[in-house]
Chains A and B, each alone.
Chain A
Amino acid sequence: MRPVPTAPAGAPAPFDVERIRREFPILGQQVRGKPLVYLDNAATAQKPERVIDAEARFYREINANVHRGVHLLSERATQAYEDVREKVRRFLNAPSAKEVIFTRGTTESLNLVAQTFGRQRVGEGDEILVTEMEHHSNIVPWQMLAQERKARLVVAPVDDAGVLRLDELERRLGPRTRILAVTHVSNALGTVNPIARICELARARGVPVVVDGAQGVPHRPVDVRALGCDFYAFSAHKLYGPTGVGVLWGKREHLEAMPPWQGGGDMILSVTFEKTTFNELPYKLEAGTPNIAGVVAMGAAIDWLASIDLAGALAHEHDLLAYGTELLSRIPGIRLVGTAPEKEGVLSFLLGDVHPHDIGTVLDREGVAIRTGHHCAQPLMIRYAIPATARASLAIYNRRSELEALAAGLEKVRRMFA
């Protein structure tokens, strides 16, 4: 974990997991007669009261369309919406709020880059470089582009532990490489990729880097300037925010040069049947009425993270990862998939020859929610010659006792299927 800057005077109270849990209404419930143990955070995180309230309050008190009305509510809605752009800028340490594009989520952000920036850059015989650990959302948009342009999708491999082979990646950065798309943190393995180093390698060859930050932002402070990437995409819902909203950050020079993606309202300056003049950034890339309440609630999530002892929270999460790794390693027959030295928040595993689906069903009856399957990373499953894994994934509100419940549930699985 990168050190988090120490908070100034008037700093938030030191992190206390029990106090944080009380801010998440959903965590107090029982499922199947057992206390809910929510370990599916890489799929989506739960939301604190402040986020839920912010979305409801928007509809109760402010709701109006943005950038349109001359009336007071529209002014307030526009203000609330645009304030979040500045919050995201600060959150990512981006140079300008004009570089922050609101989207439906990481998937839409990546598709946007592929279909605008990508279409401009990639031609016949060119190459798009991705890694073997990408989520389908950072493979398929590039594959579609490659197909359309008669270009080639090139893949940088991972090693047995789930670490990206930087030497192999470097070898694949060739004269025809037009774009490198890479995940910050692997959703299936937990591996953290050395994005700053990767960007250096790519920059030396003039290759822009698109980073899938869906699993990055929930687990580590992100500074796009320090990373040196060209685009960074993330979703609000994995960051304790609402579903259906996310961000694409891009370097201004790229965004300026990109054509609009979707046509419609808000992205234009003037329209006649002969000619349309497109709006400036960021509106050029935001056609139609956006998810205004969602954006406002995403802002509340970012504010909430800024209001807690984040360094303490992330240290707690790292303690959980180490503790969970230790507990699982003690269970006979467990094979951890993804054992990179630098990991965030993911315990992907197999238990003997029990199918992950059966593991998931038994754990569910113990109140323990995990994900089973290929985690939208089928090429990675093929790499490890496995059909699926069981995955427990962490958030800052999890506690050690929940990992003990996971381990106890796995002992039950072992007894049943032995």
Chain B
Amino acid sequence: MSELDDLYQEVILDHGRRPRNFHALPGADRVAEGLNPLCGDHYKVFLRLEGDRIAEVAFEGSGCAISKASASLMTGAVKGKTVGEAERIFTAVHALITEGPDRADPAELGKLAVLSGVSAFPTRVKCASLAWHALKNALHADAQVASTE
């Protein structure tokens, strides 16, 4: 498979075209924004926590196929997880897209392994990580806009 096909795997293209949990979340108790001023990608990530557990997660906004697919996959991966589990997934994804598949914990990644092609495209790492940084801020109730620039 070429690096390009590896980046734009069918699952990524599908999530880019038809993102899951792609809506605002009324009743969310955590909201965080992610903005990449360079390319204009802009997302809002919504969380509803039940105790320590992420009961609901959703996002809205606009951006490229990679940023949108990554956000969509993220919502699927962290729903129902505890804050600590979500943070471990964040760490694994961050290692995957910045350093490559050898550096990430496959057990934490699961389906998110489809993001493995990103590391070969340094200019696209920021796209793939944008919503994740917003998620992290939301988990920490950090009101700052996450920026990947």
* Interface residues in chain A, defined as those with a beta carbon under 8 Å from any beta carbon in chain B: 354-358, 361-362, 365, 372-374, 381, 387-388, 416-417
Contacts and interface: CB of A to CB of B under 8 A. Distances in A.
12 contacts: A355-B63, A355-B64, A356-B39, A356-B64, A357-B124, A358-B8, A358-B66, A362-B8, A365-B2, A387-B40, A387-B41, A387-B62
Contacts of B127: 357
Interface in B1-48: 2-4, 7-8, 13, 17, 38-42
Given A358-B66, A362-B4, A381 B121 contact: no
Contacts of A374: 39-40
Given A365-B4, A416-B8, A416-B13, A358 B64 contact: yes
Of A354, A365, A381, most buried by chain B (CB within 10 Å of CB) is A365
Given A357-B66, A357-B124, 17 more contacts: A357-B39, A357-B41, A358-B8, A358-B65, A361-B121, A361-B123, A362-B4, A372-B39, A373-B38, A374-B40, A381-B40, A387-B39, A387-B62, A388-B39, A416-B8, A417-B13, A417-B65
A354 B64 CA distance: 7
B66 A388 contact: no
B40 A373 contact: yes
Interface in B34-75: 38-42, 62-66
Interface size class of B (residues with CB under 8 A): 20 to 34
Contacts of B3: 365
B40 A354 contact: no
Interface in B75-133: 121, 123-124, 127
The majority secondary structure among interface residues of chain A is: helix
A103 B51 CA distance: 60
Nearest to B38: A373
Interface of B: 2-4, 7-8, 13, 17, 38-42, 62-66, 121, 123-124, 127
Contacts of A361: 4, 7, 121, 123-124
Contacts of A387: 39-42, 62-63
Contacts of A365: 2-4
Contacts of B17: 417
A388 B127 CA distance: 15
A124 B42 CA distance: 36
A25 B100 CA distance: 34
Contacts of B124: 357, 361
The 5 closest A-B pairs by CB, nearest first: A355-B64, A357-B64, A387-B40, A365-B4, A358-B65
Contacts of B62: 387
Nearest to B8: A416
A381 B65 CA distance: 20
A361 B65 CA distance: 11
